[in-house]
Amino acid sequence: MSKLTITHVFKSVLAAFIGVQSERNRKEAFEKGSLSAYIIAGLIFTTLFVITIIFIVTAVI
């Protein structure tokens, strides 16, 4: 069983984040992926999302 690359982890987290993760990719992520890699990637995407929202709101106000 080979490990997933960091690119695959980020693509998988991004797809799940916006709600378009396929069942096949989800199963592959759970079988081959490292929990810590997905937690870190999830935190990175969440932080970037919050910073983007803050920037947009600040720019509009």
**Does the residue 48 lie in any domain?**
yes
* Distance from the Cα of residue 28 to its chain's centroid: 15
Judged against a pLDDT cut of 90, whether residue 60 lies above it is answered with yes
For residues 33-61, average pLDDT:
91
Q: Mean pLDDT across the chain, nearest whole number?
A: 86
Q: Are 12 and 33 in contact (CB under 8 A)?
A: yes
- The answer to whether the predicted template modeling score (pTM) of the entire model surpasses 0.85 is no
Residue 5 three-state SS = coil
**Does the residue 32 lie in any domain?**
yes
**Does the residue 21 lie in any domain?**
yes
**Does the residue 1 lie in any domain?**
no
**Does the residue 14 lie in any domain?**
yes
pLDDT for the residue 2: 63
State which residues form the domain around 43: 6-60
Q: How far apart are CA 20 and CA 27, in angstroms?
A: 14
**Does the residue 53 lie in any domain?**
yes
Name the residue with tokens 């920037």.
55
Name the residue type at position 14.
Answer: L
Provide the number of structural domains found in the chain: 1
